[in-house]
Amino acid sequence: MAITTADMMKMSPAELDELYQNSPVGEIPNGQGQGTVVFVTGLPSRNFLASLVRLLAWQGKIFYRDQSFLLNRITILGLKLVKAKVYRGESWFGRGEAIILDYSQTSFIAQKIRDEIREVSPGVFLGQAYWGKTRVLSFALEF
């Protein structure tokens, strides 16, 4: 069964964690992915909050696989900002490798942020966002 962002929005934090840890790394994506914040906390209103975050701020990521970087799509205007280096590396959350989205050398504002993603279904990725070494939220990307 193919997992969608809508499916992930219905999962508990423990189910999301298990899905991530048991998913393959997948190939580094290319092109524009629609982003949705999937809050780690089990707030009943997380669907509304995720929609609000997407509308007001983060809308997804645009991967440039051949150049090993991405840009985030920010605001309702779809601005392309906040660059990250993209590479395969060791996961901080699950066993083995993940696709690392590293802002430490490419963005002054986001230099403490490190994301990692794994492909949970064809073209659908689940990600973990860290501030320093602290996991702050999970997010989905659909290509």
Please state, in angstroms and rounded to a whole number, the distance separating the CA atoms of residues 12 and 5: 13
Strand partners, 114: 102, 130
| CB 54, CB 127: distance < 8 Å | no
Q: Where is 56: in which H helix or E strand?
A: helix 46-56
Residue with tokens 């809508």: 6
At the top level of CATH, the class of 5-126 is mainly beta
Strand partners, 134: 131
pLDDT of amino acid 86 = 99
> What is the pTM assigned to this prediction?
0.88
Q: 15-51: per-residue pLDDT in tens?
A: 999 999 999 999 999 999 999 988 755 455 555 555 5
65, pLDDT greater than 50? yes
- Of the candidate ranges 10-24, 38-52, 100-114, 127-141, the one whose mean pLDDT is the lowest: 38-52
